[in-house]
A and B are shown apart, each in its own frame.
Chain A
Amino acid sequence: MTAVKSSAEAQDIIVIENLNKWYGNFHVLKDINLRVKKGERIVICGPSGSGKSTTIRCINRLEEFQEGSLRVDGVEMIDDVKNIETIRKDVGMVFQHFNLFPHLTILENLTLGPIWVQKKPKSEAEEIAMKYLERVKIPDQALKYPGQLSGGQQQRVAIARSLCMNPNIMLFDEPTSALDPEMIKEVLDVMVELAEEGMTMLCVTHEMGFAKKVADRVIFMDGGQIVEENNPEEFFNNPQNERTQLFLSQILGH
Protein backbone atom coordinates (compact mmCIF):
# COMPACT_ATOMS: atom_id res chain seq x y z
CA MET A 1 0.00 0.00 0.00
CA THR A 2 2.65 2.49 1.04
CA ALA A 3 4.90 1.33 -1.77
CA VAL A 4 2.18 1.95 -4.33
CA LYS A 5 1.48 5.35 -2.94
CA SER A 6 5.09 6.43 -2.92
CA SER A 7 5.66 5.27 -6.48
CA ALA A 8 2.59 7.21 -7.56
CA GLU A 9 3.94 10.22 -5.72
CA ALA A 10 7.34 9.80 -7.27
CA GLN A 11 5.65 10.27 -10.61
CA ASP A 12 3.73 13.33 -9.51
CA ILE A 13 6.25 16.10 -9.69
CA ILE A 14 3.74 18.73 -8.58
CA VAL A 15 1.02 17.98 -6.07
CA ILE A 16 -1.43 20.72 -5.17
CA GLU A 17 -4.09 19.84 -2.62
CA ASN A 18 -7.03 22.04 -1.60
CA LEU A 19 -5.14 25.21 -2.19
CA ASN A 20 -6.95 28.41 -1.20
CA LYS A 21 -5.68 31.92 -1.48
CA TRP A 22 -7.05 35.31 -0.54
CA TYR A 23 -5.97 38.82 -1.44
CA GLY A 24 -7.24 40.57 1.67
CA ASN A 25 -10.87 39.50 1.70
CA PHE A 26 -10.94 38.55 -1.96
CA HIS A 27 -10.99 34.77 -2.34
CA VAL A 28 -8.91 34.41 -5.46
CA LEU A 29 -8.14 30.67 -5.54
CA LYS A 30 -10.72 28.15 -4.35
CA ASP A 31 -9.96 24.51 -3.55
CA ILE A 32 -7.40 24.02 -6.29
CA ASN A 33 -6.40 20.36 -6.69
CA LEU A 34 -3.83 19.50 -9.29
CA ARG A 35 -1.36 16.69 -9.83
CA VAL A 36 1.24 16.96 -12.54
CA LYS A 37 3.28 13.98 -13.64
CA LYS A 38 6.89 14.25 -14.64
CA GLY A 39 7.09 15.13 -18.31
CA GLU A 40 3.46 16.17 -18.52
CA ARG A 41 2.51 19.24 -20.55
CA ILE A 42 -0.39 21.21 -19.18
CA VAL A 43 -2.12 24.20 -20.71
CA ILE A 44 -4.20 26.43 -18.45
CA CYS A 45 -6.76 28.75 -19.99
CA GLY A 46 -9.68 30.79 -18.79
CA PRO A 47 -11.06 34.30 -18.82
CA SER A 48 -9.13 37.27 -17.51
CA GLY A 49 -9.00 37.44 -13.72
CA SER A 50 -9.84 33.77 -13.27
CA GLY A 51 -6.67 33.11 -11.25
CA LYS A 52 -4.48 31.39 -13.85
CA SER A 53 -1.40 33.50 -13.15
CA THR A 54 -1.95 33.34 -9.42
CA THR A 55 -2.09 29.55 -9.57
CA ILE A 56 1.17 29.04 -11.38
CA ARG A 57 2.86 31.79 -9.40
CA CYS A 58 2.08 29.85 -6.24
CA ILE A 59 4.16 26.99 -7.61
CA ASN A 60 7.43 28.93 -7.27
CA ARG A 61 6.29 31.07 -4.37
CA LEU A 62 5.96 34.36 -6.18
CA GLU A 63 2.62 34.29 -4.36
CA GLU A 64 1.89 32.93 -0.91
CA PHE A 65 -1.25 30.96 -0.13
CA GLN A 66 -3.18 30.61 3.09
CA GLU A 67 -4.66 27.11 2.98
CA GLY A 68 -3.87 23.74 1.47
CA SER A 69 -0.59 22.22 0.48
CA LEU A 70 1.75 22.31 -2.44
CA ARG A 71 4.63 19.93 -3.06
CA VAL A 72 7.20 20.23 -5.81
CA ASP A 73 9.45 17.25 -6.45
CA GLY A 74 8.76 16.01 -2.93
CA VAL A 75 9.61 19.33 -1.28
CA GLU A 76 6.83 20.87 0.74
CA MET A 77 6.18 24.54 0.03
CA ILE A 78 6.24 26.05 3.49
CA ASP A 79 7.41 29.29 5.00
CA ASP A 80 11.02 28.18 4.99
CA VAL A 81 13.75 29.89 3.04
CA LYS A 82 15.57 26.60 2.40
CA ASN A 83 12.51 24.94 0.89
CA ILE A 84 11.61 27.96 -1.20
CA GLU A 85 15.16 28.15 -2.55
CA THR A 86 15.22 24.43 -3.35
CA ILE A 87 11.94 24.68 -5.22
CA ARG A 88 12.94 27.80 -7.13
CA LYS A 89 16.08 26.07 -8.33
CA ASP A 90 13.88 23.32 -9.68
CA VAL A 91 11.32 25.53 -11.40
CA GLY A 92 11.92 27.93 -14.26
CA MET A 93 9.50 30.70 -15.11
CA VAL A 94 8.81 32.72 -18.25
CA PHE A 95 6.75 35.91 -17.98
CA GLN A 96 4.42 37.74 -20.29
CA HIS A 97 6.70 40.80 -20.34
CA PHE A 98 9.97 38.81 -20.54
CA ASN A 99 11.47 40.59 -17.49
CA LEU A 100 15.03 40.41 -18.76
CA PHE A 101 17.53 42.42 -16.70
CA PRO A 102 17.98 45.56 -18.79
CA HIS A 103 21.38 46.56 -17.39
CA LEU A 104 23.01 43.23 -18.26
CA THR A 105 23.93 41.81 -21.64
CA ILE A 106 22.08 38.78 -22.96
CA LEU A 107 25.02 36.60 -21.97
CA GLU A 108 25.11 38.12 -18.46
CA ASN A 109 21.37 37.60 -18.11
CA LEU A 110 21.92 33.92 -18.81
CA THR A 111 25.03 33.35 -16.70
CA LEU A 112 23.72 35.16 -13.62
CA GLY A 113 21.90 32.13 -12.19
CA PRO A 114 24.58 29.53 -12.96
CA ILE A 115 27.31 31.76 -11.49
CA TRP A 116 25.59 33.13 -8.39
CA VAL A 117 23.10 30.39 -7.53
CA GLN A 118 24.78 27.24 -8.78
CA LYS A 119 28.29 28.62 -8.10
CA LYS A 120 29.64 27.47 -11.44
CA PRO A 121 32.86 29.00 -12.78
CA LYS A 122 32.29 31.79 -15.28
CA SER A 123 33.68 29.91 -18.27
CA GLU A 124 31.41 26.95 -17.66
CA ALA A 125 28.40 29.23 -17.16
CA GLU A 126 29.14 30.95 -20.45
CA GLU A 127 29.41 27.62 -22.22
CA ILE A 128 26.01 26.61 -20.89
CA ALA A 129 24.56 29.99 -21.83
CA MET A 130 25.82 29.75 -25.40
CA LYS A 131 24.45 26.22 -25.68
CA TYR A 132 20.96 27.43 -24.80
CA LEU A 133 21.23 30.57 -26.90
CA GLU A 134 21.94 28.28 -29.81
CA ARG A 135 18.92 26.21 -28.96
CA VAL A 136 16.69 29.28 -29.08
CA LYS A 137 18.54 30.28 -32.26
CA ILE A 138 20.05 33.62 -31.29
CA PRO A 139 23.68 32.96 -30.34
CA ASP A 140 24.69 36.03 -32.37
CA GLN A 141 22.86 38.36 -29.93
CA ALA A 142 24.88 37.30 -26.88
CA LEU A 143 26.66 40.60 -26.35
CA LYS A 144 23.71 42.90 -26.96
CA TYR A 145 21.43 44.38 -24.32
CA PRO A 146 17.78 43.33 -23.97
CA GLY A 147 16.57 46.73 -25.18
CA GLN A 148 18.23 46.08 -28.53
CA LEU A 149 16.28 42.88 -29.23
CA SER A 150 12.83 42.36 -30.67
CA GLY A 151 10.08 41.08 -28.38
CA GLY A 152 10.24 37.59 -29.83
CA GLN A 153 13.99 37.47 -29.37
CA GLN A 154 13.69 38.76 -25.81
CA GLN A 155 11.18 36.08 -24.96
CA ARG A 156 13.44 33.38 -26.39
CA VAL A 157 16.29 34.78 -24.27
CA ALA A 158 14.00 34.60 -21.24
CA ILE A 159 13.30 30.95 -22.00
CA ALA A 160 17.01 30.27 -22.39
CA ARG A 161 17.70 32.08 -19.10
CA SER A 162 15.39 29.67 -17.29
CA LEU A 163 16.81 26.64 -19.06
CA CYS A 164 20.35 27.56 -18.01
CA MET A 165 19.37 26.67 -14.46
CA ASN A 166 18.56 23.18 -15.65
CA PRO A 167 15.04 23.13 -14.18
CA ASN A 168 12.77 20.09 -14.02
CA ILE A 169 9.64 22.17 -14.45
CA MET A 170 8.95 25.18 -16.63
CA LEU A 171 6.13 27.63 -15.94
CA PHE A 172 4.93 29.94 -18.70
CA ASP A 173 2.57 32.84 -17.99
CA GLU A 174 1.10 33.99 -21.29
CA PRO A 175 4.51 33.97 -22.97
CA THR A 176 3.19 35.17 -26.32
CA SER A 177 0.48 37.66 -25.38
CA ALA A 178 2.80 40.67 -25.51
CA LEU A 179 4.14 39.74 -28.94
CA ASP A 180 3.28 40.77 -32.47
CA PRO A 181 1.74 37.96 -34.54
CA GLU A 182 4.86 37.33 -36.60
CA MET A 183 6.92 36.79 -33.45
CA ILE A 184 4.51 34.45 -31.74
CA LYS A 185 5.52 31.57 -33.94
CA GLU A 186 9.23 31.80 -33.21
CA VAL A 187 8.52 31.59 -29.48
CA LEU A 188 5.97 28.80 -29.81
CA ASP A 189 8.46 26.80 -31.93
CA VAL A 190 10.95 26.91 -29.09
CA MET A 191 8.28 25.84 -26.63
CA VAL A 192 7.13 22.96 -28.83
CA GLU A 193 10.71 21.76 -29.11
CA LEU A 194 11.05 21.90 -25.36
CA ALA A 195 7.83 19.93 -24.94
CA GLU A 196 9.04 17.28 -27.35
CA GLU A 197 12.18 16.84 -25.28
CA GLY A 198 10.06 15.83 -22.30
CA MET A 199 10.17 18.94 -20.12
CA THR A 200 7.38 19.18 -17.55
CA MET A 201 5.50 22.30 -18.57
CA LEU A 202 2.64 24.35 -17.18
CA CYS A 203 1.62 26.97 -19.62
CA VAL A 204 -1.00 29.68 -19.29
CA THR A 205 -1.87 30.57 -22.84
CA HIS A 206 -4.69 31.23 -25.24
CA GLU A 207 -2.78 29.78 -28.18
CA MET A 208 -5.19 26.95 -28.82
CA GLY A 209 -3.10 25.61 -31.70
CA PHE A 210 -0.26 25.10 -29.25
CA ALA A 211 -2.58 23.43 -26.78
CA LYS A 212 -3.89 21.00 -29.38
CA LYS A 213 -0.41 20.21 -30.58
CA VAL A 214 1.51 19.58 -27.37
CA ALA A 215 -0.75 19.54 -24.33
CA ASP A 216 -1.43 16.30 -22.48
CA ARG A 217 -4.11 18.06 -20.52
CA VAL A 218 -5.99 21.33 -20.81
CA ILE A 219 -7.29 22.97 -17.65
CA PHE A 220 -10.01 25.55 -17.72
CA MET A 221 -10.28 27.99 -14.82
CA ASP A 222 -12.99 30.47 -13.96
CA GLY A 223 -13.72 32.41 -10.78
CA GLY A 224 -10.66 31.01 -9.02
CA GLN A 225 -11.71 27.39 -9.56
CA ILE A 226 -10.65 24.62 -11.86
CA VAL A 227 -13.86 24.17 -13.83
CA GLU A 228 -12.86 21.47 -16.23
CA GLU A 229 -9.82 19.48 -17.22
CA ASN A 230 -9.42 17.02 -20.03
CA ASN A 231 -7.17 15.91 -22.85
CA PRO A 232 -7.11 18.46 -25.67
CA GLU A 233 -9.28 16.46 -28.04
CA GLU A 234 -12.12 16.00 -25.59
CA PHE A 235 -11.65 19.49 -24.22
CA PHE A 236 -12.03 21.25 -27.54
CA ASN A 237 -14.51 18.94 -29.25
CA ASN A 238 -16.64 17.96 -26.36
CA PRO A 239 -16.49 20.50 -23.51
CA GLN A 240 -18.66 19.47 -20.58
CA ASN A 241 -19.25 22.65 -18.64
CA GLU A 242 -21.32 25.53 -19.95
CA ARG A 243 -18.65 28.00 -18.87
CA THR A 244 -16.09 26.12 -20.93
CA GLN A 245 -18.40 26.06 -23.91
CA LEU A 246 -19.01 29.79 -23.67
CA PHE A 247 -15.29 30.53 -23.30
CA LEU A 248 -14.33 28.32 -26.23
CA SER A 249 -17.00 29.78 -28.46
CA GLN A 250 -15.67 33.25 -27.62
CA ILE A 251 -12.00 32.60 -28.28
CA LEU A 252 -12.46 30.25 -31.22
CA GLY A 253 -15.24 32.37 -32.65
CA HIS A 254 -12.84 34.89 -34.14
Chain B
Amino acid sequence: MKPSGPIDTFQPIADRPAPVQTVGPVAWMRENLFSGIGNSLVTLGIIAFLVYYIPPILDWAFFSANWSGTTEDACVKDGACWVFINAWSYQFFYGTYPLEEVWRINLMLVLLLIVIAMSFTLPKHYRMKASIAAWLALPLVGMAILYGGWGGLEVVSTDLWGGFTLNVFMAAASIIVAFPFSFLWALGRRSQMPFIRSVSVIFIEFFRGVPVLSLFFMGSVMLPLFFAEGTNVDKLIRVWLVLIFFMSGYMAEVFRGGFAAVPSGQYEAADSVGLSYWQKILLIILPQVIKISMPNILATFVMLFKNTTFLLIIGIPEVVQTLQTALANSYWLGGHALEGYLFVFLVFWASCFGMSVLSRRIERTLNTDKRD
Protein backbone atom coordinates (compact mmCIF):
# COMPACT_ATOMS: atom_id res chain seq x y z
CA MET B 1 0.00 0.00 0.00
CA LYS B 2 1.53 3.28 -1.08
CA PRO B 3 1.05 6.39 1.03
CA SER B 4 -0.96 9.05 -0.72
CA GLY B 5 -0.56 12.80 -0.55
CA PRO B 6 2.63 14.83 -0.37
CA ILE B 7 5.82 13.11 0.85
CA ASP B 8 8.67 14.93 2.59
CA THR B 9 11.78 15.01 0.47
CA PHE B 10 15.17 14.40 2.07
CA GLN B 11 16.96 17.71 2.78
CA PRO B 12 20.72 17.27 3.17
CA ILE B 13 22.40 19.68 5.62
CA ALA B 14 25.63 21.18 4.27
CA ASP B 15 28.91 20.35 6.07
CA ARG B 16 30.30 23.05 8.35
CA PRO B 17 33.91 23.40 9.57
CA ALA B 18 34.56 22.47 13.21
CA PRO B 19 34.10 25.32 15.74
CA VAL B 20 37.19 27.48 15.62
CA GLN B 21 38.35 27.68 19.25
CA THR B 22 39.62 24.08 19.29
CA VAL B 23 42.05 24.74 16.43
CA GLY B 24 45.36 26.64 16.38
CA PRO B 25 48.34 27.00 18.74
CA VAL B 26 46.84 29.71 20.97
CA ALA B 27 43.70 27.71 21.57
CA TRP B 28 45.83 24.62 22.17
CA MET B 29 47.93 26.42 24.80
CA ARG B 30 44.91 27.89 26.49
CA GLU B 31 43.28 24.51 26.68
CA ASN B 32 46.30 22.43 27.66
CA LEU B 33 48.63 24.73 29.60
CA PHE B 34 46.51 27.47 31.16
CA SER B 35 43.11 25.94 31.63
CA GLY B 36 42.94 26.92 35.32
CA ILE B 37 44.92 28.61 38.09
CA GLY B 38 46.60 25.41 39.26
CA ASN B 39 47.45 24.37 35.76
CA SER B 40 48.89 27.83 34.94
CA LEU B 41 51.09 27.77 38.08
CA VAL B 42 52.51 24.37 37.17
CA THR B 43 53.20 25.57 33.63
CA LEU B 44 54.99 28.70 34.88
CA GLY B 45 56.98 26.65 37.40
CA ILE B 46 58.20 24.31 34.70
CA ILE B 47 59.16 27.23 32.46
CA ALA B 48 61.18 28.81 35.30
CA PHE B 49 62.92 25.50 35.96
CA LEU B 50 63.88 25.13 32.31
CA VAL B 51 65.13 28.72 32.06
CA TYR B 52 67.32 28.17 35.11
CA TYR B 53 68.86 24.81 34.16
CA ILE B 54 68.97 24.63 30.38
CA PRO B 55 71.59 27.36 29.69
CA PRO B 56 74.34 25.86 31.90
CA ILE B 57 73.75 22.47 30.38
CA LEU B 58 73.95 23.85 26.87
CA ASP B 59 77.04 25.77 27.85
CA TRP B 60 78.73 22.64 29.19
CA ALA B 61 77.75 20.44 26.25
CA PHE B 62 78.32 22.89 23.41
CA PHE B 63 79.62 26.41 23.99
CA SER B 64 82.42 25.70 26.44
CA ALA B 65 83.05 22.17 25.20
CA ASN B 66 86.36 20.96 23.79
CA TRP B 67 85.84 19.62 20.31
CA SER B 68 89.21 19.37 18.59
CA GLY B 69 92.44 17.63 19.49
CA THR B 70 93.54 14.09 20.11
CA THR B 71 94.85 14.01 23.66
CA GLU B 72 93.83 14.84 27.20
CA ASP B 73 95.85 18.07 26.98
CA ALA B 74 93.53 19.44 24.32
CA CYS B 75 90.77 19.71 26.94
CA VAL B 76 91.48 23.17 28.37
CA LYS B 77 88.01 24.73 28.57
CA ASP B 78 85.58 24.03 31.46
CA GLY B 79 83.00 22.28 29.28
CA ALA B 80 82.70 18.72 28.15
CA CYS B 81 85.77 16.99 26.75
CA TRP B 82 84.37 15.46 23.58
CA VAL B 83 87.93 14.88 22.47
CA PHE B 84 87.86 11.85 24.74
CA ILE B 85 84.92 10.34 22.90
CA ASN B 86 86.47 11.16 19.57
CA ALA B 87 89.79 9.58 20.45
CA TRP B 88 88.16 6.37 21.61
CA SER B 89 85.35 6.22 19.07
CA TYR B 90 86.87 3.33 17.12
CA GLN B 91 87.07 1.17 20.27
CA PHE B 92 83.59 2.20 21.36
CA PHE B 93 82.16 0.99 18.09
CA TYR B 94 84.41 -1.88 17.06
CA GLY B 95 86.29 -2.93 20.19
CA THR B 96 89.74 -4.29 19.37
CA TYR B 97 88.74 -5.65 15.97
CA PRO B 98 91.75 -5.07 13.67
CA LEU B 99 91.49 -1.86 11.67
CA GLU B 100 92.30 -3.45 8.31
CA GLU B 101 89.48 -5.99 8.81
CA VAL B 102 86.86 -3.58 10.08
CA TRP B 103 85.11 -3.51 6.71
CA ARG B 104 83.75 -6.90 7.69
CA ILE B 105 81.81 -5.39 10.57
CA ASN B 106 80.58 -2.60 8.34
CA LEU B 107 79.54 -5.13 5.71
CA MET B 108 77.61 -6.95 8.42
CA LEU B 109 75.77 -3.77 9.39
CA VAL B 110 74.96 -3.06 5.76
CA LEU B 111 73.61 -6.60 5.37
CA LEU B 112 71.44 -6.05 8.42
CA LEU B 113 70.03 -2.87 6.92
CA ILE B 114 69.45 -4.59 3.58
CA VAL B 115 67.51 -7.39 5.24
CA ILE B 116 65.41 -4.87 7.17
CA ALA B 117 64.70 -2.97 3.96
CA MET B 118 63.91 -6.22 2.14
CA SER B 119 61.28 -7.10 4.69
CA PHE B 120 59.37 -4.00 3.65
CA THR B 121 60.00 -3.56 -0.03
CA LEU B 122 60.03 -6.97 -1.71
CA PRO B 123 56.99 -7.79 -3.86
CA LYS B 124 54.26 -9.08 -1.62
CA HIS B 125 53.82 -12.57 -3.02
CA TYR B 126 57.24 -13.76 -1.93
CA ARG B 127 58.15 -11.14 0.69
CA MET B 128 57.25 -13.34 3.64
CA LYS B 129 59.27 -16.37 2.49
CA ALA B 130 62.28 -14.40 1.27
CA SER B 131 62.58 -12.23 4.34
CA ILE B 132 62.19 -15.12 6.77
CA ALA B 133 64.97 -16.96 4.92
CA ALA B 134 67.16 -13.86 4.92
CA TRP B 135 66.63 -13.22 8.63
CA LEU B 136 67.41 -16.82 9.58
CA ALA B 137 70.54 -16.82 7.43
CA LEU B 138 71.79 -13.54 8.87
CA PRO B 139 73.34 -14.79 12.16
CA LEU B 140 75.26 -17.57 10.40
CA VAL B 141 76.43 -15.35 7.56
CA GLY B 142 77.37 -12.71 10.12
CA MET B 143 79.30 -15.18 12.22
CA ALA B 144 81.15 -16.44 9.13
CA ILE B 145 82.06 -12.95 7.96
CA LEU B 146 83.13 -11.66 11.36
CA TYR B 147 85.08 -14.76 12.35
CA GLY B 148 86.56 -15.51 8.95
CA GLY B 149 88.88 -18.44 8.31
CA TRP B 150 87.49 -19.23 4.88
CA GLY B 151 88.01 -17.97 1.32
CA GLY B 152 91.15 -16.04 2.27
CA LEU B 153 89.50 -14.20 5.17
CA GLU B 154 91.79 -13.98 8.14
CA VAL B 155 90.49 -15.44 11.40
CA VAL B 156 89.54 -12.73 13.90
CA SER B 157 89.20 -14.49 17.21
CA THR B 158 86.13 -13.59 19.21
CA ASP B 159 88.06 -12.05 22.10
CA LEU B 160 88.94 -9.20 19.73
CA TRP B 161 85.26 -8.47 19.06
CA GLY B 162 83.84 -5.64 21.06
CA GLY B 163 82.24 -2.26 21.28
CA PHE B 164 78.76 -1.22 20.34
CA THR B 165 78.67 -3.40 17.23
CA LEU B 166 79.11 -6.41 19.51
CA ASN B 167 76.02 -5.34 21.45
CA VAL B 168 74.12 -5.06 18.19
CA PHE B 169 75.37 -8.39 16.91
CA MET B 170 74.68 -10.29 20.13
CA ALA B 171 71.17 -8.87 20.42
CA ALA B 172 70.25 -9.42 16.77
CA ALA B 173 71.79 -12.88 16.52
CA SER B 174 70.08 -14.09 19.67
CA ILE B 175 66.61 -12.79 18.93
CA ILE B 176 66.68 -14.24 15.42
CA VAL B 177 67.67 -17.69 16.61
CA ALA B 178 65.31 -17.44 19.58
CA PHE B 179 62.38 -16.61 17.30
CA PRO B 180 61.55 -20.11 15.99
CA PHE B 181 62.31 -21.68 19.37
CA SER B 182 60.06 -19.34 21.29
CA PHE B 183 57.32 -20.09 18.82
CA LEU B 184 57.69 -23.80 19.53
CA TRP B 185 57.73 -23.22 23.30
CA ALA B 186 54.54 -21.20 23.03
CA LEU B 187 52.92 -23.96 20.99
CA GLY B 188 54.13 -26.49 23.55
CA ARG B 189 52.59 -24.52 26.36
CA ARG B 190 49.23 -24.70 24.59
CA SER B 191 49.63 -28.39 23.81
CA GLN B 192 47.05 -30.94 24.92
CA MET B 193 49.84 -33.34 25.83
CA PRO B 194 50.73 -32.98 29.51
CA PHE B 195 54.38 -33.92 29.07
CA ILE B 196 55.06 -31.38 26.35
CA ARG B 197 53.07 -28.77 28.21
CA SER B 198 54.93 -29.20 31.51
CA VAL B 199 58.34 -29.18 29.87
CA SER B 200 57.42 -25.94 28.09
CA VAL B 201 56.05 -24.32 31.22
CA ILE B 202 59.14 -25.22 33.24
CA PHE B 203 61.48 -23.94 30.55
CA ILE B 204 59.61 -20.68 30.01
CA GLU B 205 59.16 -19.92 33.68
CA PHE B 206 62.76 -20.77 34.49
CA PHE B 207 64.21 -18.37 31.97
CA ARG B 208 61.70 -15.66 32.78
CA GLY B 209 62.08 -16.03 36.51
CA VAL B 210 65.87 -15.92 36.80
CA PRO B 211 67.82 -12.63 36.56
CA VAL B 212 69.73 -12.34 33.33
CA LEU B 213 72.93 -11.56 35.23
CA SER B 214 72.90 -14.89 36.99
CA LEU B 215 72.23 -16.53 33.65
CA PHE B 216 75.37 -14.90 32.26
CA PHE B 217 77.41 -16.23 35.16
CA MET B 218 75.94 -19.63 34.61
CA GLY B 219 76.79 -19.38 30.93
CA SER B 220 80.39 -18.49 31.59
CA VAL B 221 81.05 -20.66 34.63
CA MET B 222 78.58 -23.53 34.70
CA LEU B 223 77.83 -24.22 31.05
CA PRO B 224 81.40 -25.48 30.37
CA LEU B 225 80.75 -28.25 32.92
CA PHE B 226 78.04 -29.62 30.65
CA PHE B 227 80.20 -29.81 27.57
CA ALA B 228 82.35 -32.89 27.04
CA GLU B 229 85.76 -32.63 28.63
CA GLY B 230 88.42 -31.16 26.38
CA THR B 231 85.97 -29.27 24.20
CA ASN B 232 86.48 -25.59 24.66
CA VAL B 233 83.39 -23.77 23.54
CA ASP B 234 84.04 -20.12 22.91
CA LYS B 235 82.93 -17.80 25.69
CA LEU B 236 81.00 -15.60 23.30
CA ILE B 237 79.14 -18.62 21.93
CA ARG B 238 78.26 -19.63 25.47
CA VAL B 239 76.71 -16.28 26.33
CA TRP B 240 75.05 -16.29 22.96
CA LEU B 241 73.36 -19.55 23.94
CA VAL B 242 72.34 -17.99 27.23
CA LEU B 243 70.83 -15.01 25.46
CA ILE B 244 68.96 -17.31 23.08
CA PHE B 245 67.44 -19.27 25.96
CA PHE B 246 66.62 -16.12 27.88
CA MET B 247 64.99 -14.51 24.86
CA SER B 248 63.04 -17.57 23.82
CA GLY B 249 61.56 -17.78 27.32
CA TYR B 250 60.40 -14.20 27.10
CA MET B 251 59.20 -14.32 23.55
CA ALA B 252 57.33 -17.55 24.13
CA GLU B 253 55.11 -15.58 26.48
CA VAL B 254 54.74 -12.82 23.91
CA PHE B 255 53.67 -15.41 21.36
CA ARG B 256 51.33 -17.05 23.84
CA GLY B 257 49.49 -13.76 24.12
CA GLY B 258 49.36 -13.61 20.34
CA PHE B 259 47.95 -17.13 20.12
CA ALA B 260 45.29 -16.34 22.66
CA ALA B 261 44.27 -13.28 20.67
CA VAL B 262 43.59 -15.23 17.46
CA PRO B 263 39.86 -16.01 17.53
CA SER B 264 38.97 -19.69 17.82
CA GLY B 265 36.95 -19.33 14.61
CA GLN B 266 40.23 -19.11 12.71
CA TYR B 267 41.30 -22.54 13.98
CA GLU B 268 37.87 -23.96 13.18
CA ALA B 269 37.81 -22.49 9.68
CA ALA B 270 41.30 -23.87 9.02
CA ASP B 271 40.18 -27.28 10.29
CA SER B 272 37.06 -27.31 8.20
CA VAL B 273 39.01 -26.40 5.06
CA GLY B 274 40.92 -29.61 5.79
CA LEU B 275 44.36 -28.20 6.57
CA SER B 276 46.68 -30.39 8.62
CA TYR B 277 47.87 -29.25 12.05
CA TRP B 278 51.14 -27.74 10.80
CA GLN B 279 49.53 -26.17 7.75
CA LYS B 280 46.99 -24.58 10.04
CA ILE B 281 49.64 -23.26 12.41
CA LEU B 282 52.07 -22.02 9.76
CA LEU B 283 49.68 -20.67 7.12
CA ILE B 284 46.81 -19.33 9.20
CA ILE B 285 47.76 -18.87 12.82
CA LEU B 286 51.44 -17.84 12.75
CA PRO B 287 51.02 -14.85 10.40
CA GLN B 288 48.25 -13.50 12.60
CA VAL B 289 50.20 -14.18 15.79
CA ILE B 290 53.23 -12.32 14.44
CA LYS B 291 51.10 -9.40 13.44
CA ILE B 292 49.38 -9.20 16.82
CA SER B 293 52.65 -9.64 18.70
CA MET B 294 54.80 -7.26 16.67
CA PRO B 295 54.78 -4.36 19.18
CA ASN B 296 55.66 -6.72 22.02
CA ILE B 297 58.34 -8.50 20.01
CA LEU B 298 60.06 -5.19 19.38
CA ALA B 299 59.67 -4.13 23.01
CA THR B 300 61.27 -7.41 24.06
CA PHE B 301 64.06 -6.86 21.59
CA VAL B 302 64.76 -3.38 22.97
CA MET B 303 64.95 -4.88 26.45
CA LEU B 304 67.38 -7.56 25.28
CA PHE B 305 69.44 -5.00 23.40
CA LYS B 306 69.90 -2.92 26.56
CA ASN B 307 70.58 -6.04 28.59
CA THR B 308 73.59 -6.84 26.41
CA THR B 309 75.47 -4.19 28.42
CA PHE B 310 75.37 -6.65 31.34
CA LEU B 311 77.86 -8.72 29.40
CA LEU B 312 80.55 -6.47 30.91
CA ILE B 313 80.05 -8.32 34.20
CA ILE B 314 81.66 -11.42 32.75
CA GLY B 315 84.36 -9.41 31.02
CA ILE B 316 83.04 -9.27 27.50
CA PRO B 317 84.24 -6.00 25.97
CA GLU B 318 80.90 -4.61 24.87
CA VAL B 319 80.52 -0.85 24.75
CA VAL B 320 80.20 -0.07 28.48
CA GLN B 321 83.10 -2.37 29.31
CA THR B 322 85.15 -0.60 26.64
CA LEU B 323 84.18 2.74 28.14
CA GLN B 324 85.42 1.61 31.55
CA THR B 325 88.68 0.51 30.02
CA ALA B 326 88.99 3.93 28.42
CA LEU B 327 88.18 5.71 31.68
CA ALA B 328 90.91 3.74 33.45
CA ASN B 329 93.50 4.51 30.79
CA SER B 330 96.48 6.33 32.28
CA TYR B 331 96.57 8.93 29.50
CA TRP B 332 92.93 9.90 30.09
CA LEU B 333 92.64 10.34 33.83
CA GLY B 334 90.88 13.73 33.65
CA GLY B 335 87.52 12.25 34.73
CA HIS B 336 85.47 11.89 31.59
CA ALA B 337 82.86 9.54 32.99
CA LEU B 338 80.06 12.02 32.40
CA GLU B 339 80.89 12.47 28.72
CA GLY B 340 81.43 8.75 28.29
CA TYR B 341 78.17 7.63 29.85
CA LEU B 342 76.28 10.40 28.10
CA PHE B 343 77.68 9.12 24.84
CA VAL B 344 76.64 5.52 25.57
CA PHE B 345 73.28 6.82 26.68
CA LEU B 346 72.81 8.72 23.40
CA VAL B 347 73.90 5.83 21.21
CA PHE B 348 71.48 3.45 22.91
CA TRP B 349 68.71 5.98 23.03
CA ALA B 350 69.09 6.77 19.31
CA SER B 351 69.04 3.08 18.38
CA CYS B 352 66.04 2.31 20.53
CA PHE B 353 64.20 5.35 19.29
CA GLY B 354 64.97 4.27 15.73
CA MET B 355 63.57 0.86 16.52
CA SER B 356 60.35 2.21 17.91
CA VAL B 357 59.90 4.36 14.80
CA LEU B 358 60.52 1.19 12.80
CA SER B 359 58.05 -0.72 14.89
CA ARG B 360 55.29 1.81 14.27
CA ARG B 361 56.12 1.62 10.60
CA ILE B 362 55.85 -2.19 10.70
CA GLU B 363 52.50 -1.99 12.45
CA ARG B 364 51.24 0.34 9.77
CA THR B 365 52.37 -1.92 6.92
CA LEU B 366 50.78 -4.88 8.61
CA ASN B 367 47.55 -2.98 9.09
CA THR B 368 47.24 -1.83 5.50
CA ASP B 369 46.17 -5.38 4.83
CA LYS B 370 42.77 -4.16 5.83
CA ARG B 371 42.54 -0.95 3.86
CA ASP B 372 44.77 0.02 0.89
Contacts and interface: CB of A to CB of B under 8 A. Distances in A.
Interface in B255-282: 263, 265-266, 268-276, 279
Nearest to A93: B272
Interface range on chain B: under 10, 10 to 19, 20 to 34, or 35 or more?
20 to 34
Interface stretch (A12-20, A110-118, A198-206): A110-118
A92 B370 contact: no
A60 B274 CA distance: 10
A165 B273 contact: yes
Contact of B371 (A116, A117, A148, A158): A148
B269 A113 contact: no
B104 interface: no
Given A102-B288, A102-B370, A117 B272 contact: no
Contacts of A165: 273-274
A221 interface: no
B283 interface: yes
Interface residues of A, number: 27
Given A101-B266, A103-B369, A117 B287 contact: no
A99 B265 contact: yes
A60 B269 contact: no
Given A89-B274, A116-B275, A116-B283, A100 B369 contact: no
A95 B371 CA distance: 24
Interface of B: 263, 265-266, 268-276, 279, 283-284, 287-288, 291, 369-371
Nearest to B370: A147
B266 A145 contact: no
B269 A101 contact: yes
A145 B370 contact: yes
A117 B268 contact: no
A162 interface: yes
Contacts of B284: 101
Contacts of B269: 93, 95, 99-101, 158
Among B271, B272, B288, the one with the most A-chain Cβ atoms within 10 Å of its Cβ is: B272
